[in-house]
């Protein structure tokens, strides 16, 4: 429980999220659309979700005889996966929605993520309990966790605990994987005739839970605003000191939405988009060669400085790196001969002797310090841990090597001094922007009505985010509708499809159109810190990518 | 020149800094106080500054027959040293003050710091030129630099360039060293009977240009607010995930004011203050032992997480480390035997063989990776570069080793997983807070009147910052008044005394009073991002340290 508060937290606690008109209506009815289909693999998905496949999209409307809780209900809540700004407002919206339906409705939070459901660790969420958390960042109200519910034993444990507590609905706040889990759980409950409705809520700062139906996941707006604030500040510093190349790595391993959004907000000199690298099958050497060329051409203009934005997951999108990692894992796991080697130098030599062809080339394209890091830091199974590699440092070193060679050939005469940054934890728990505060509150409120209506296997949906909040639409999307089959650990699994950066889409094309100019000139923008008060144009900005995707 | 602007930059450009009433007066007179003395070494300082020593403090007041520019004057401006938020508002205040005195007054900015004075690189600052920079962060309007003016040849070059441009006053915006330089230059001009007034302006995010007369240097408020925003966000993340110990290193090598201010704003579990470490002559092992004990006692409470704030300069305040560095430099410089060693392991063994006593103990107290870093990364003179050591990583590794030993002895059974952060460049060029925007504007405005009044060797002074801006006092402080002699590179030099954290002062004592509780409980505060609009309590906060130092 929060004992004290900063002046901002204190002032912000009285903020009343703007509620869509439809959710403020005294009586809310459900309008059903047409039956739905999964985005692909229809037959397989239908077979896996016999009870929840094909449900209609639903939209809420104001109308008589709407959703009711004549008998009080008890709803369970779990926060799943990484933190995202606005989670506490989902809880607040869910709570207020339930209380609007029936003052006696109850909300219980399960602690520390899905493991709380298994271990039956929980807390009742009351009005006074909620007060210090409204409009604040973090998931600390009940905590979050990454435990996956995958086995029948786990499902049965959840059924046992929820049934004992007389729970009639479970709201799962999470990303694509957690919502896939919610769908599986909802289907399992139906299969077992357990009367518990499962509703999902789209969370992730990464922005990769996005599709025809979901305009943006919550947290993306706030997190990217924090990263853009910092990137803008670093750009100003860069332009004032004219001394360094700043390499800014941004959180998000599976897609480059964050990097793209920050790039469009800040206009740095270079932005790497993993999806483009993968589509073009670029090698690491090709990527760094392109970057080095920008460094060289700027130095010709007397500019030995610049700012580069890098998505955290870059390496895993470079085909040769993926292959190299696989081969290294095969070669080194349980390899006594290799294990016996003590020094990095000897390990590197050993590996060079045991690689060949493309893999050897790829390994040799890595700077020695990264080669050493790759071989030193392996997981308990002996696998190389690509996630532990400091990609920004790798790129700095690789570019230094390129520039050294160019200098030797008389093709470069500038100075190159670099600073690396990683922005991640700084943005996941920021107090939600007005957009996220309102959006999350509406998502939670919507979830309460989906729960009360017994609409299982649905994702809480709030749309038309480019319009004023009063005009937002609210309703539910069948989770199976967003699914396809994917190969995971050698098995076909039904999953909600991750959204990658669309290389044909307007946001990426806007980057493409401008990047040569941004590389050459210093058209840095400084978005500044999130403003909770002030002119609407400042305090109520929506993501640039969303404007480009959904704007007219 | 800035071509475009973010919505915030755009909206903020119309902000009118609050001006002290006295500066808004139609006629401003100079009230002289008593003659002053240097803080120590009076005879020596007086001898070094025969023309400018002992001047009176001056205070501005509204009154008839005040400072005038009957004949237009031409003022030169230079930004010196590291960036600090608000620099552009100093320029704006200076410009507006000069124009108030006489519409025909001119302001010229010398480019890229003091080197611009030597190379005669400059730009005239006009009203339209200034527009996009008002209330923005960065020093990019004319750039900054670290060139020191120290030789007579340099002074003469400055005289030649300024005289050719018909400059009658030079305003130097900088920290303690740059203002010392300004004092020396002002004295030299007097000595040479050159009619150029030199005025200083107190800038530095580090907060170490502070004394009886200077309440705070500009930029400290904004930079610490940015670092506190990020620290608060990381704390929220920490408390939500309950998974990591976050080690946050904050910029500022020479004093720990930033760390102290952020600690008082955020209430992390552990805060290291370099001045305390030095005063107690703690060894690195003692420092990490204390930290490890907090980790252990929190783990007993089931808390395997926490947040630690570390000042960047820590290592240089640990006596044994200072000594070790010195010995290493003596031992390794131009040492062919050592240079021939290729691998880190061999270098470490070599050094161990050649150290003894305290130095050997100190070296052995470092984690192996840091030992390697210390020996690998040496400057062109062969010196160890202590500034390149990742102090946060050093502490993480050292604590890991301590915990391993404790675990072995059955005295610790927790989990320890850590994340390192460094916040520096992210805060130096943020758009100034309302306080810094107002304060800087007033400092620049005051400087224009000091320049017009021919008050050479003065620091622009704006005081009573805890009162509303209208009531702030403005005037000038003789630079020599803040000086003492210090031993630098084997010579006694007159310098403005750096303010270290006062271990007997209220700010540090507030930390001492609370730190056991903050270590045990999670009383994290999340100050959130700087607000330029909104409730006064949020948008117009002054530093906590300033409140404690100067409040009633």
Contacts of B523 in chain A (CB under 8 A): 3-4
* Cβ-Cβ contacts under 8 Å, A139 against chain B: 240-241
Contact between A534 and B533 using a beta-carbon 8 Å cutoff: yes
Fill in the DSSP letter of residue A470: G
Q: Which residues contact B536 (CB under 8 A, 6 or more apart)?
A: none
Query: Tens digits of per-residue pLDDT, A335-361?
Result: 889 888 877 888 899 999 999 999 999
Question: What residue in B sits closest to A87 (Cα-Cα)?
Answer: B240
Q: Do A234 and B530 touch (CB under 8 A)?
A: no
The residue whose two tokens read 């992390």 is B268
User: Tens of pLDDT along A265-289?
Assistant: 999 999 999 999 999 999 999 999 9
Stretch (H or E) spanning A241? helix A220-241
| Residues B127-136, mean pLDDT to the nearest whole number | 97
| Mutate: best of A235, A237, A385, partner B, most B CBs <10 A | A237
Closest-CA distance of chain B to residue A529, Å: 6
Asked if A140's CB is within 8 angstroms of B529's CB, the reply is: no
- In Å, how far are A282, A491, B80, B115, B141 from B111, measured between CA atoms? 41, 63, 10, 8, 9
Q: Is pLDDT of A387 > 80? A: no
Q: How many CB atoms lie within 10 A of CB A517?
A: 10
- Binary contact (B535, A11; C-beta < 8 A): yes
Q: Do B9 and A528 touch (CB under 8 A)?
A: yes
Q: Beta-carbon neighbour count of residue A471 at 10 Å?
A: 12
**pLDDT at res. B1:** 42
Chosen from A134, A228, A241 to mutate, greatest number of chain B CBs within 10 A: A241
ipTM of the complex: 0.95
Is B143 in contact with A538 (Cβ distance < 8 A)?
no
Residue A96, pLDDT score: 98
Which residues are registered as beta bridge partners of B112?
Answer: none
**How crowded is residue B301: how many other Cβ atoms within 10 Å of its Cβ?**
10
Whole-angstrom distance, CA of residue B544 vs CA of residue B348: 45
Query: Which of B140, B427, B539 comes nearest A240 by C-beta?
Result: B140
Residue B3 has pLDDT above 70, yes or no: no
CB atoms within 10 A of CB A104: 12
Confidence (pLDDT) at A552: 78
Spell out the residues 6+ positions from residue B78 whose beta carbon is closer than 8 angstroms to its own: B109, B110, B113, B114, B116, B117, B142, B170, B171, B172, B173
Mean pLDDT throughout B508-514? 98
Q: Which residues of A carry out catalysis?
A: 206
Contacts of A57 (CB under 8 A, 6+ apart): A32, A33, A34, A36, A213, A475, A476, A477, A478, A481
**A-B interface: how many C-beta pairs under 8 angstroms?**
201
Q: Which of B1, B8, B13 to mutate to test the interface with A (most CBs of A within 10 A)?
A: B8
Pairing mode, strands A418-423 and A245-250? parallel
| Residue A517: pLDDT band with limits 50, 70, 90 | very high
Q: Do B236 and A140 touch (CB under 8 A)?
A: yes
**In B, which residues are within 8 Å of A237 by CB distance?**
83, 138, 425, 428-429
Nearest to A72 by CA among A199, A168, A171, A195: A168
How far apart, in whole angstroms, are the C-alpha atoms of residue B179 and residue B171?
10
Task: Give the range among A63-72, A231-240, A320-329 with minimum mean pLDDT.
Answer: A320-329
**What is the distance in angstroms between the Cα of B452 and the nearest Cα belonging to chain A?**
28
Out of B3, B427, B535, name the one closest to residue A233 (CB): B427
HSE value, Cβ hemisphere, 13 Å, CA-based, for B14: 7
Tokens, residue A496: 């909600």
Band (pLDDT 50/70/90 cuts) for residue A376 is: confident
Question: Cα A234 to chain center, whole Å?
Answer: 23
pLDDT in tens, B33-77: 999 999 999 999 999 999 999 999 999 999 999 999 999 999 999
| Chain A: residue whose CA lies nearest to B145 | A241
Is the pTM higher than 0.90? The answer reads yes
Task: Pick the closest to residue A440 from A137, A123, A99, A228 (CA basis).
Answer: A137
Distance from CA of B231 to the nearest CA of A (A): 8
Residues of B labelled catalytic: 206
Which chain B residue is nearest to residue A527, measuring alpha carbons? B6
């Amino acid at each position: 429980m929060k004992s004290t508060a900063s002046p901002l937290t204190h002032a912000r606690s009285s903020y009343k999220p703007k509620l869509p008109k439809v959710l403020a209506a005294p009586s809310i009815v459900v309008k059903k659309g047409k039956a739905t289909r999964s985005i692909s693999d229809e037959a397989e998905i239908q077979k896996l979700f016999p009870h929840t496949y094909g449900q209609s999209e639903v939209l809420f409307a104001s109308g008589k005889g709407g959703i009711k809780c004549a008998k009080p209900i008890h709803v369970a809540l779990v926060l799943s996966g990484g933190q995202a700004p606005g989670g506490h407002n989902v809880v607040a919206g869910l709570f207020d929605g339930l209380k609007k339906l029936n003052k006696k409705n109850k909300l219980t939070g399960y602690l520390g993520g899905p493991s709380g459901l298994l271990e039956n660790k929980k807390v009742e969420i009351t009005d006074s309990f909620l007060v210090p958390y409204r409009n604040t960042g973090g998931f600390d109200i009940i905590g979050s966790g990454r435990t996956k519910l995958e086995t029948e034993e786990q499902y049965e444990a959840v059924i046992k605990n929820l049934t004992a507590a007389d729970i009639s609905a479970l709201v799962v706040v999470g990303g694509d994987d957690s919502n896939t889990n919610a769908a599986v759980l909802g289907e399992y409950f139906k299969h077992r005739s357990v009367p518990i409705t499962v509703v999902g809520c789209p969370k992730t700062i990464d922005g990769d839970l996005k599709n025809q139906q979901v305009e943006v996941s919550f947290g993306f707006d706030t997190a990217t605003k924090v990263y853009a604030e910092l990137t803008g500040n670093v750009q100003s510093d860069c332009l004032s000191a004219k001394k360094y190349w700043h390499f800014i790595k941004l959180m998000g391993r599976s897609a480059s939405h964050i990097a793209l959004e920050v790039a469009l907000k800040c206009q740095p000199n270079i932005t790497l988009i993993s999806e483009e690298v993968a589509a073009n099958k670029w090698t690491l050497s090709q990527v760094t060669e392109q970057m080095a060329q920008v460094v060289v051409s700027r130095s010709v203009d007397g500019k030995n400085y610049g700012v580069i934005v890098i998505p955290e997951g870059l390496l895993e999108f470079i085909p040769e790196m993926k292959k190299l990692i696989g081969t290294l894992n095969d070669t080194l796991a349980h390899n006594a001969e290799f294990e016996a080697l003590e020094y990095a130098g000897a390990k590197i030599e050993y590996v060079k002797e045991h690689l060949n062809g493309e893999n050897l080339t790829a390994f040799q394209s890595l700077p020695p310090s990264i080669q050493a890091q790759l071989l030193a830091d392996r997981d308990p199974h002996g696998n190389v841990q690509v996630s532990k590699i400091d990609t920004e440092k790798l790129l700095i070193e690789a570019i230094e090597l390129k520039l050294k060679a160019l200098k030797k050939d008389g093709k470069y005469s500038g100075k190159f001094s670099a600073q690396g940054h990683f922005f991640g934890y700084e943005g996941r728990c920021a107090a939600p922007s007005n957009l996220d505060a309102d959006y999350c509150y509406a998502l939670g409120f919507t979830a309460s009505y989906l729960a009360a209506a017994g609409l299982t296997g649905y994702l809480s949906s709030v749309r038309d985010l480019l319009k004023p909040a009063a005009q937002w639409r609210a309703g539910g999307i069948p989770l199976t509708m967003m699914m396809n089959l994917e190969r995971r650990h050698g098995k076909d699994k039904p999953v909600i499809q991750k959204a990658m950066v669309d290389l044909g889409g307007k946001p990426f094309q806007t980057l493409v159109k401008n990047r040569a100019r941004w590389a050459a000139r210093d058209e840095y923008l400084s978005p500044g810190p999130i403003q909770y008060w002030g002119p609407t144009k400042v305090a109520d900005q929506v993501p640039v990518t969303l404007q480009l995707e959904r704007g007219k």
